[in-house]
Amino acid sequence: MNQSLMVAFDVSDRRAALDLADSLAPGRGKAAKVGMELYYKEGAAVLQDLQERGFAIFLDLKLFDIPHTVEQAMLQLARLGVDYVTVHALGGRAMLEAARRGLERGANESGLPLPKLLAVTELTSISEDVLANQQNCRLPLEEQVVRLAQLAKSAGCDGVVCSALELKALHQQVGDDFFYLVPGIRMADAQVGDQVRVATPAQAKADGATAIVVGRPINQSEEPLAAYECYLADWHNSHSV
């Protein structure tokens, strides 16, 4: 299975999502990241469309609210049969633990597999300057990410979303038995867009990524399947830690 490479379905509506899915066919063994834009437009129905085409679903809504609200939201998301969901690690231990409880209840009540719970550390669009002067964080970026990952692991999360630049420190200080999902993936000659902390697939894998997310280089390509295969080949051309 190729769930080590998840494609961001950051498109505007169901028709665009299905066109992208069909261009990547066959879907079985592949994973689709459905984020806020598509989910808020089309709701759970588009998840079923993609599941019927064989895609695993990474539902990336980055929940961040009081613990009770997050727990009840996760209860509902677990009933959708998705494979991965996200919360913000900055929500704190009580919220992260509540998210886990909600997922477990939803999975148990629906009889569906338990989704992996991934905590977002710092977005790949965040720089040291933004962290210090806008988030007013006293820690360097790498240490901030490590601390948030340690919190997420102790609160019952299955992994974190982080940039490739923090992977070595995360493996050293959080452990190898954790899921490290890395967005901000670009080939060396590609434009980075609004990403700040980026890496190639091979660099991410070499530094210890469990999986990567690729968006615009695939979903805006004239040949999405060829772009997908290019990124997957680069991933396989490296050796993990």
Backbone angles phi, psi at 210, to 5 degrees: -80, -40
**Residue type at 77 in one-letter notation:** L
Chain mean position to CA 134: 24
Task: Please check if 86 is assigned to a binding site.
Answer: no
Task: Please check if 113 is assigned to a binding site.
Answer: no
Task: Please check if 171 is assigned to a binding site.
Answer: no
Active site residue 62: yes
Task: Please check if 148 is assigned to a binding site.
Answer: no
Task: Please check if 216 is assigned to a binding site.
Answer: yes
Task: Please check if 10 is assigned to a binding site.
Answer: yes
Task: Please check if 124 is assigned to a binding site.
Answer: yes
Report the C-alpha gap between 181 and 58 in whole angstroms. Answer: 11
Q: How many CA atoms lie within 13 A of 49 on its CB side?
A: 19
Task: Please check if 60 is assigned to a binding site.
Answer: yes
Task: Please check if 18 is assigned to a binding site.
Answer: no
* Strand, coil or helix: 83: coil
**Active-site option among 41, 62, 116, 168:** 62
Instruction: Quickly count: other Cβ atoms within 10 Å of residue 213's Cβ.
Output: 23
Task: Please check if 67 is assigned to a binding site.
Answer: yes
Q: How many CA atoms lie within 13 A of 115 on its CB side?
A: 30
CB 208 within 8 A of CB 241: yes
Task: Please check if 64 is assigned to a binding site.
Answer: yes
* Strand, coil or helix: 71: helix
Task: Please check if 210 is assigned to a binding site.
Answer: no
- DSSP states of 4-39: TEEEE---SSHHHHHHHHHHT---TT-EEEE-HHHH
- Residue 95 burial by Cβ neighbours in a 10 Å radius (0-12, 13-18, 19+): buried
Task: Please check if 62 is assigned to a binding site.
Answer: yes
CB 175 within 8 A of CB 146: no
Instruction: Provide the annotated binding site.
Output: 10, 33, 60-69, 124, 186, 195, 215-216
Instruction: Provide the annotated binding site for substrate.
Output: 10, 33, 60-69, 124, 186, 195, 215-216
> Which positions are annotated as active-site residues?
62
